[in-house]
Amino acid sequence: MNRRTFLSHSSRAVALAAAASYLPTTFAAQKARRVALIGCGWYGKGSLLRMLQVEPAEVVSLCDVDSRMLSEAAGIVAGRQKSGKEPRMYGDFRKMLKEEELDIVMVSTPDHWHAVPAITAMQAGADVYVEKPISVDVVEGRSMVAAARKHGRVVQVNTQRRSTPHLIEARDRVIREGKLGTIGHVEICCYWGMGRAGNRPDIPVPDTLDYELWTGPAPMRPFNQRTHPRGWRAFMEYSNGIVGDMCIHMLDMVRWMLDLGWPQSVSSTGGIYVEKDSNANTTDTQTAVFDFGNLQVVWKHRTYGDSPDPDYPWSATLYGDKGTLKASVFKYEYFERGKKEPALTGEALYEYDQYPEDRTEKDLERHVASAMRRHWQNYLHCVDTRTRPVADIEQAFISSASCILANMSVELGGRTLRYNPETGRVSGGRQANELLARPYRAPWTHPTPETV
């Protein structure tokens, strides 16, 4: 069967498949799982609290290089977990992983600190739940997959579009039922500013922050008003820019919906064309082409001006010969060919009746809460059964590495790159292959698949 043209499924079969994807955990051990969080900022806390909503696990330890953020998170967790106990607090993940016996370790650090803590946790015998993109370079990601397989760990990545109720519905009711027909083109985009505009000053490092350890293997930059917390994505030293932050979600969603593997090639162009006064060094404009053979997925972002479609500023649009599907974290709409009004629609699921705390929780992305809960349910079931979750580390590696290759293409002047996942090499010569692994600042050592 052509992977982009799906046969119809009965509504009963679809309902059974959806139910099977989110089986409750088995609680086989009959005791609370011991969970730890590395990185107690915005998304780390939000994700951890969604886990506590679906299982009475015990968060036994928290780790963060910012003592203020760490203490605040410990108080919040104590108020939300069943035992009421405050987790032990650590400033160094290595000390925590050495002293604690942990079932699950969450890694919710800035991107440049995903690989080493996650691999170290796997080596210590813990299963891992890690944020996207899984790495800042391709070799890091490949090493994380190797570590998961070598040590038999279950690793879920927080690419939670795969667990978003209205997007599952769109996949099942529109794509799998063949309503789009043959899909010939996909556009993915982000037209939000992403906070990169403006020139922020360098400032003294806060007394509560261990900036040396925060920087870790990344280059040591002067501490900037953007750097911490939450502004670090404006710097390529710590991230993969908007492609690594926003494109990966939409690319991964499309790959999941259409059952796509590795792109045959990746090419990208872009730069800082408008917001030249900003001290951010990520692109303000970028286009990337992920070529899957008979299907191209084309990414565009622009941090200035208006969105072409105000209803879908961060989204995917799938074009078929029978119709069009528009999908975002907020809703989806399916349009039959030639029709202006949608034939099918769906919206983000809010579960305030069951989880009233979602209404008031600080900084929670409320439209994503139901997806995060289902992502955790899927993961915890897979931890019990030792099976691969819906956002297994290998799937996230494909999406993360594809976005990293897009940024590499920009650095190489728009060169088309072809990555071989078997050899871990990329077409394009010595310079392209050297970009697969970023240099690490001493004394940190870059992981490789052979050393994990």
Q: Give the Å distances, CA to CA, from 408 to 138, 208, 267, 326, 413.
A: 10, 35, 9, 29, 9
Query: Which domains does the chain show, CATH number per domain?
Result: 21-160 (3.40.50.720), 162-364+393-434 (3.30.360.10)
Please say whether the beta carbons of 307 and 191 come within 8 A: yes
User: Pairing between strand 323-328 and 314-320?
Assistant: antiparallel
Residues in Cβ contact with 189 at an 8 Å cutoff, skipping those fewer than 6 apart:
250, 299, 300, 301, 308, 312, 313, 314, 315, 316
Please say whether the beta carbons of 36 and 59 come within 8 A: yes
Q: What pLDDT was estimated at residue 384?
A: 98
User: How many whole angstroms separate alpha carbon 349 and alpha carbon 339?
Assistant: 26
* Start-to-end CA span in the chain (Å): 38
pTM score over 0.75: yes
User: Pairing between strand 34-38 and 58-63?
Assistant: parallel
> 79: helix, coil or strand?
helix
**CA 393, 36, 396 angle in degrees (round to 5)?**
10
Give the mean pLDDT per block of 10 residues along the chain (452 residues).
35 38 49 96 94 97 98 97 97 98 98 98 98 98 98 98 98 98 98 96 98 98 96 97 98 98 98 97 98 98 97 98 98 97 98 97 96 98 98 98 98 97 93 97 98 98
Q: What pLDDT was estimated at residue 31?
A: 86
Q: What pLDDT was estimated at residue 11?
A: 37
